[in-house]
Amino acid sequence: HQSRGEESSRREHQSCEVMADSAAPRPTVLVTGAGGRTGHIVYTKLKERSEQFVARGLVRTEESKQKIGGADDVYIADIRDADRLAPAVQGTDALIILTSGVPKMKPGFDPSKGGRPEFYYEDGMYPEQVDWIGQKNQIDAAKAAGVKHIVLVGSMGGTNPNHPLNSLGNGNILVWKRKAEQYLADSGVPYTIIRPGGLLDKVGGVRELIVGKDDELLQTDTKSIPRADVAEVCVQALQYEEAKFKAFDLASKPEGVGTPTKDFRALFSQITARF
C-alpha cells in the first residue's frame, strides 16, 4: 500500500493539474505607440502585471525600441504600412492603440515677442496618415488576426470641427481621430473608445476620475487627467465586460478633491454611450 506521504503528494499533484487547467491563459495584449509618453506607461503596466497579461509593444524605430528597454516583445513597424503590422498582431487577444500624429513647433519662436508659435507636421506624418490611415490599418490587421477587443485612445474635442487643435499645422487632427473612432465602432470588433482631456505628467491613482460624453466636460473646470490614469483605464478596460462597445470622455478632479477611483467596474458601468 502507498505510504501516506506518497498519497498526499499524488493528491497535491492532481489538484495542481486541476488548477492549471482551470486558470485561463493570460491574454496577449499589444500596445501600439509604445514609445510615446502614454503608450510607454501602458506597456510598463502590462509588463508589471505579468501574472495577468502577456505584453507586446509596437514602435516605429529601433531607437524607440531601445528607449523603452529593447525587449524581444517590442515589434518595429510603421503603422502607415498595413503589410508590416501582421507579425505584431498575430496571436494577440487585445490591442490598445496609442499612436498619434505629433505637431512640431516651427523653430524661431520667441515668447518674449508675444504672438503664438506656429506648428507643422513632418512630411508623411500628418494626422490623415497617422491618426486615420495608420489607425485604420491597425483595426483591419487586428480584425483579420481575430483580436477580441480593441481599446482606442482618442481625444476630447472631436464634436467641434473648429476646435483650435484642428488648426495646428492645418492637420485637422481631431477630425481624423474621430474618423478612426467611427471606423472602429463600425468594425464589429468589441471596442472601448477613450477620449481623454488635457494630459498631465502627474502621478496616477490618486484622483477621482470622471467620465462624460459629447465634450460636455470641456465646459467644466475638470477637463484634464494624468497620463498614468489614462493608461490605467486602458488596462482596466480589458478586464470588464462593462467597458465593451462603449465610448467616453475621461477627465479627473484635482488631486485631493473627491475619492480616488478604485472601482473600475463601477466607472465603466456609468457609461451608456456607444459613440
Catalytic site positions: 155
| Domain residue limits, the chain | 28-270
pLDDT digits (tens, 9 = 90+) for 144-177: 999 999 999 999 999 998 999 999 999 999 999 9
Q: Which helix (H) or strand (E) holds 225?
A: strand 224-226
Residue found by looking up cell 498526499 in the block: 8
Q: Sort strands 224-226 and 104-105 into parallel, antiparallel or unpaired.
A: unpaired
pTM value surpassing 0.85: yes
67-98: pLDDT as tens digits: 999 999 999 999 999 999 999 999 999 999 99
The closest alpha carbon to 126, from 170, 77, 161, 88, belongs to 170
Pairing of strands 198-200, 224-226: parallel
256: burial class by Cβ within 10 Å (0-12, 13-18, 19+)? Answer: exposed
User: What's the start-to-end Cα distance of the chain, in Å?
Assistant: 67
Q: Return the SS3 of 32.
A: strand
Q: How far is CA 104 from the centre of its chain?
A: 22
C-alpha cell, 126:
500628418
pLDDT at 14 (0 to 100): 53
pLDDT above 90 for 228: yes
Query: pLDDT digits over 97-120, tens only?
Result: 999 999 999 988 888 888 888 899
CATH of segment(s) 28-270: 3.40.50.720
**Cα separations (Å) of 265 from 10, 175, 224, 240, 243?**
40, 30, 21, 6, 8
Question: What mean pLDDT, rounded, does the chain reach?
Answer: 91
